[in-house]
Amino acid sequence: METFAGFAEHTDEQIGRLADALQEMSVLDNTLFVYIVGDNGASAEGGPEGAYNEMMALNGIINTAEINMPHLDNWGDPSTFPHYAIGWAWAGDTPFQWTKQIASHYGGTTNGVVIHWPARVKAKGEVRSQFTHVTDIAPTVLEAAGLPFPKSVNGTVQRPFDGTSMVYTFDDPKAKETHTTQYFEMFGNRGIYHDGWVACTRHSIPWLMVPLPPLSKDTWELYHVAEDFSQAHDLATQNPAKLKELQDLFTNCRATRPDGQSDFAHRLSGDDWDGGKRVHQRKEPLLYHHSAGRIEGRKYKWCDHCPGWRVRWMGALHERWKSPSRIQLLWSRTDEHRRPDGLTARQARDQI
């Protein structure tokens, strides 16, 4: 956590240099400054005892004190990619439940945002509580700059933004929110926000590499976040009608493919889609995807081609590759970790 604190202070210093430069150019007051404090919730990927290299956990290797101690004197230097332990992540997400990857709960998704634009925003030090999402940033910038939404970019027709502008909150802290519904899903952890309510269910836990139950066995929770910001009071048993309403809305919000499957289901089926067309079908379904959840109990391989750098394959040949070497390599930044053939990840990469 000391290393993370040093990183945070270093980041703050660099943001300060940018602000100072804008001030020296006499343009800071008329610059829209949007500072998002974080990347989802605090991360629990360091495991119970922390990790000298976070990539080990992403490769299914749980760090222990025995593994970490030889690297203690180098913690934070270029030979490490360290991560604090679960307890610090939980503390960092106070007052919310859960951590990064648990997209069902606010502890996995919520960050503070600072907006600074003195020439336009007259309020100072005020808080806005309307529901907003990262997809609202681009619409906000376009409205603030007085720019129309681009219908086409370099000949490619643009789909409308999913988010809404936040400019309406600048003058009125009690303005009626415009981003009224938002869908969340990652590793089977699912949630939906709608008009001050959240329905959600946790499916997996980042630091537990265990077989997971069917999604149908998950327990849904219900929170009236308009009155219970920290999601402290589960109202699922008290208001089953509202829970059912939001569960149905969640189902309707999931993106559907031409075959009628949800985006979640198609990833498990083994098909790849591009622009609504199946571009190829995998010989085996993928094992792991950032929003498709885990299928446990089988070996996996990294695929550095498919969308999402965490996608793992079971070793089936990608149809557009003739050589198996590209996908049979376990890509890892844990360079000293040895594969079953005795090669380190760095040595294996060098052979390609």
Of 105-114, 197-206, 275-284, the poorest mean pLDDT is in 275-284
Residue 350: pLDDT band with limits 50, 70, 90: low
pLDDT in tens, 271-309: 333 334 433 343 333 333 333 333 333 333 433 333 332
263 in any annotated domain:
no
Q: Which residue has the tokens 């299914």?
A: 60
Q: Average the pLDDT over 347-351 and give the result.
A: 61
Q: Which domain holds residue 320?
A: 268-351
Residue 253 CA to residue 261 CA, distance in Å, equals 12
* 256, β-bridge pairs: 262
* Structural domain ending residue among the three candidates 135, 150, 165: 150
What pLDDT, on the 0 to 100 scale, is given for residue 122? 92
β strands within 154-310, DSSP E = 156-157, 181-186, 189-194, 197-201, 221-223, 271-274, 277-281, 288-289, 293-294, 301-302
The closest of 74, 336, 51 to 206, measured between CA atoms, is 51
* Structural domain ending residue among the three candidates 112, 129, 150: 150
Share of the chain above pLDDT 90, in %: 62
Domain count, the chain: 2
In this structure, what DSSP letter does residue 149 have?
A: P
What global pTM score does this model have? Answer: 0.72
What pLDDT, on the 0 to 100 scale, is given for residue 325? 36
110 in any annotated domain:
yes
183 in any annotated domain:
no
145 and 6 assigned to the same domain: yes
The answer to whether residues 200 and 220 touch, using CB atoms and an 8 Å cutoff, is: yes
Q: Is 9 exposed, middle or buried (0-12, 13-18, 19+ CB in 10 A)?
A: exposed
169 in any annotated domain:
no
How high does pLDDT run on average in the chain? 78
DSSP secondary structure of 339-352: PTTS-BHHHHHHH-
* Structural domain ending residue among the three candidates 127, 150, 173: 150
What 3-state DSSP class applies to 325?
helix
Q: Is 260 exposed, middle or buried (0-12, 13-18, 19+ CB in 10 A)?
A: exposed
* 48, β-bridge pairs: none
Residue of 323 and 174 predicted with greater confidence: 174
Share of the chain above pLDDT 70, in %: 72
The closest of 200, 195, 41 to 109, measured between CA atoms, is 41
Buried b (16+ CB within 10 A) or exposed e, 105-138: bbbbbbeebebebeeebeeeeeebebbbbeebbe
* 116, β-bridge pairs: 33
Residue 337: pLDDT band with limits 50, 70, 90: low
146 and 18 assigned to the same domain: yes
Give yes or no for residue 197 having a pLDDT over 90.
Answer: yes
Residue 62: pLDDT band with limits 50, 70, 90: confident
pLDDT in tens, 79-104: 999 999 999 999 999 999 999 999 99
CA distances from 110 to 38, 100, 104, 221 (A): 9, 9, 11, 18
Residue 127: pLDDT band with limits 50, 70, 90: very high
pLDDT in tens, 132-170: 999 999 999 999 999 999 999 999 999 888 899 999 999
The answer to whether residues 108 and 71 touch, using CB atoms and an 8 Å cutoff, is: no
Give yes or no for residue 327 having a pLDDT over 70.
Answer: no
The closest of 151, 116, 134, 147 to 39, measured between CA atoms, is 134
Residue 346: pLDDT band with limits 50, 70, 90: low
pLDDT in tens, 203-219: 999 888 788 899 999 99
83 in any annotated domain:
yes
9 in any annotated domain:
yes
Provide the greatest CA pair distance for the chain: 64
Name the strand (E) or helix (H) holding 44.
none
The answer to whether residues 108 and 99 touch, using CB atoms and an 8 Å cutoff, is: yes
165 in any annotated domain:
no
> Which pair of tokens denotes residue 199?
């329905």
> β-strand 152-153 against 301-302: which pairing, if any?
unpaired
Residue 258: pLDDT band with limits 50, 70, 90: very low
46 in any annotated domain:
yes
278 and 144 assigned to the same domain: no
